Amino acid sequence: MLVLAVFIALSFALYVFYKVKYVRSRRPAEKEWISAKSRMALGAFIFFFGVNQLFLYSGTITYVISALFIIIGGISIWAGMKAYKYFLPRAIEESEWIKSNQN
């Protein structure tokens, strides 16, 4: 499945991108917001990897491990979305506060 391979590569690239952005950021709320986005990207990587394994191999062990990957990836995406929604207003507020204090 070429589509799943593209999704796997894209989600891994986004994970690396957000982790580098996380390290370069100096604002605490913005760091948590970026961390939430990287958590969602990593969850998508694990999720798509589990789905891809279902198409590549067949067997009971494969189905169990793929199900675990899909569940863990889904939970990571869900937790990342909750953190993203929580930290987005705080990151915006932090950015506005810094802009207002620079002038």
Question: How does pLDDT run across 67-92, given as a tens digit for each residue?
Answer: 999 999 999 999 999 999 999 999 99
Tell me the percentage of the chain whose pLDDT exceeds 90.
88
Residue type, 43: G
As a whole number, the mean pLDDT across the chain is: 94
Burial (Cβ within 10 Å: 0-12, 13-18, ≥19) of residue 58: exposed
d(CA 48, CA 66) in angstroms, rounded, equals 10
Question: How does pLDDT run across 30-69, given as a tens digit for each residue?
Answer: 999 999 999 999 999 999 999 999 999 889 999 999 999 9
Amino acid 102: pLDDT: 81
- Is 103 a residue whose pLDDT tops 90? no
- Taking the alpha carbons at both ends of the chain, their separation in whole angstroms is 53
d(CA 21, CA 17) in angstroms, rounded, equals 6
In the chain, where the domains are located:
2-102
Amino acid 9: pLDDT: 97
